Amino acid sequence: MLFDAPVIAPARGLDPAWLDYNGHLNMAYYNVLFDQGADHVFAMIGSGPDYVAERNMSFFNAEAHVCYVRELKPDAMVRASTQILDFDAKRIQLFQELRHVDGWLSATCESMLLHIDMSGPRTMDMPDDIFANVTAMAEAHKSLPRPEQAGRSIGIPRRQVHGAS
């Protein structure tokens, strides 16, 4: 199976209900757009909407780090791109960008997804066919540069104040 590098979801507009009182996209809905981009990837690797019903397995987001770079206004059209940074039998580390159709970066999201057996729920190894598809997608993404924002953490850097101990 061949995959684009990165995988780019179809362009979409913003739902007017997602706008906040500042007149731009509310921060929660950036996550919705990233989630829809991830859903596009899941459908491609064979773990889309029927995966839970047919196999009683899914992927859950365990952690996410979103960076808001530039606000989105009501008439914006955007695309989410997704790159696999790393994976193993139970986890996939994704990096996503949300870009305006004009090309400028609006936000990034780095996330860790867990493969889940829904009967637990508990983590479990991906079935061979899903793992093979993830492997093929990761291989296609291996040639992409590691995003500068990947691996960031939140913190306030502290400087040593002269004379302080």
Digitized pLDDT (tens) for each residue of the chain, 165 residues in all: 789 999 999 999 999 999 999 999 999 999 999 999 999 999 999 999 999 999 999 999 999 999 999 999 999 999 999 999 999 999 999 999 999 999 999 999 999 999 999 999 999 999 999 999 999 999 999 999 999 999 998 889 888 776 655
Looking at residue 164, its pLDDT comes to 58
- Nearest partner of 47 among 39, 120, 92, judged by Cα: 39
Task: Supply the pLDDT for residue 158.
Answer: 87
Of residues 57, 59, 11, the one with CA closest to residue 37: 11
Say what the pLDDT of residue 157 is: 85
Q: Please tell me the predicted confidence (pLDDT) of residue 165.
A: 56
Q: Domain 7-141 is in which class?
A: alpha beta
Cβ contact 79:8 at 8 Å? yes
pLDDT, residue 163, reads: 62
Structural domain boundaries in the chain: 7-141
Six-digit token pair at 156? 């306030």
CA–CA separation, 84 and 92 (whole Å): 7
Q: How much is the pLDDT for 35?
A: 96
CA distance 108 to 10: 17
DSSP 17-69: GGB-TTSSB-HHHHHHHHHHHHHHHHHHHT-STHHHHHHSEEEEEEEEEEEE-
| Residue 109, helix vs strand vs coil | strand
Give the pLDDT confidence score for residue 1 in this predicted structure. Answer: 76
* The pLDDT of residue 83: 98
